[in-house]
Structure 1
Amino acid sequence: MTDKDIPVTEDELHAYIDNELPSERRGSVEAWLSTHPDDAERVQAWRAMAEALHARYDGVADEAVPKRLEIERLVRQPRKWMVGAAAAALLAFVAGGGVGWMARGASAAPSAFQDLTVDALDAHKLYVVEVRHPVEVPGSERAHLQQWLTKRCGWSVRAPVLDATGLKLVGGRLLPGPAGPASFLMYESPTGERFTLYTSRANTKTAQMRYTAAENSGAMYWSEDGVGYVLSGPTDKDRLNQVARLVYDQAEKAGG
């Protein structure tokens, strides 16, 4: 079997986008894409998202961390994430590899998750560093929070119970999304590890889950029944996978 006959893997497709593919495989990948339109469409989608994220976050690199956030960082030493790290981590944020337990959905169109994911990351960056006001409605009012967000968003919003992963609901808030209202839920571990779950209407009914990460931030994003989900948190892929799967399983049971 010659090099050009070796099937192209998903890791190679991402390396191709990032210009990290060995030169001897580049021609083979390009030949593969010319005869595999589904993979070519996926590459186009990932590249479009990467360009949008770079456009949104590249300007943050030279910004100084506000003094208020520096003070909060010193006060909350036990927290595992650093103040301002979420913003810095997103500078090089690009679409990443697939997770794959949800293989039954159709592939997303090139712009399907672009606006939704960027908006979700903006919200994560903004609120994950907040100490006193990270949410509008506290987690102690879960029933009210779910009822309020469901009424405002127009679909059934449920705050997943993530105790099995060591995460407790901090609370949530209503945000503007790319296609209308969006729900935003925040969870925290005993060590200060924070995850946020952002949901909004998606322009694809069902799409496979994807993982993406850069430096200190990672995310899983997918859609189900016309609702897009973005789970943001630390870069640990296995950890994100664990939390995202529990979120997905509970959402599927609620929908069933």
Structure 2
Amino acid sequence: MSHPVDPVTEADLQAYVEDRLPMTRRIEVEAHLCHDIGAAMRVIADLRIRDELRLALGEMPRMGSIATTKAARRLERGLATSRLARRFRQVAAVAMLVGLGWLAHSQFGPLGVGEVVASTMPPAYVADAVRAHRTTLIRAAMHSQPVAPRYDPAEIRSATAIVLPTLPDDWTVTDVQIFPSTFGPSVEMTIRTSSTGTVSLFAARPGTFDVVPATLSRQDDLSAAHWQIGEVAYALVTRGGTDELNRAAERLVDTLY
């Protein structure tokens, strides 16, 4: 018997950011965010600012006054109560840090350092994807290593909680393996394509909820396109060109919605 899911409201999203939802409702909210990219991006921005504030409070010198700490925590809670306040969160966070003396730290700009690094450094799971790709190339050259081209997406999802995208009809799977990774079990697929040659599709659960569009990066002699939908992250790795790789990644992203 199926149970109707209550519509996800703005109050649910705020409670999700503040870690005030029971697990069953969190799952329902995350399912909603997987299909509402606009809401997902707003929630991700809220989570980032929340974590920046918590990091600042956690690393605050002990000499800081209790009153200041309480005021900062009230600020954090208050910022989550209004949609309009989202526009002023970075300004409020900077003002709080300046008041606490953090402006003297030269590495702290207007809370933009983390975003700059994130825009130039691919996520950690991309490095795992590249390692898995190189390992697959080694296995492919060894006659003693069996390949497993047949796979059951439902079984993989049941065992790993990883949802695999639907592959184009002209793609041929030559091997599927469950790999260890930094974040637990991952899936590594070796695929022959007509447009990009041999590629590896890597999927893992990085431990965070996010929505990231297909993004290209270079890893030495390899090209990678990575994206994330909800709690599952993906990376397409090949030696081919980035234009075809990006188009291939976007085709896979479309099948996950």
User: TM-score with structure 1 length normalisation?
Assistant: 0.50
Greater relative contact order (CA < 8 Å, ≥ 6 in sequence): 1
User: TM-score with structure 2 length normalisation?
Assistant: 0.50
Structure of larger gyration radius: 2
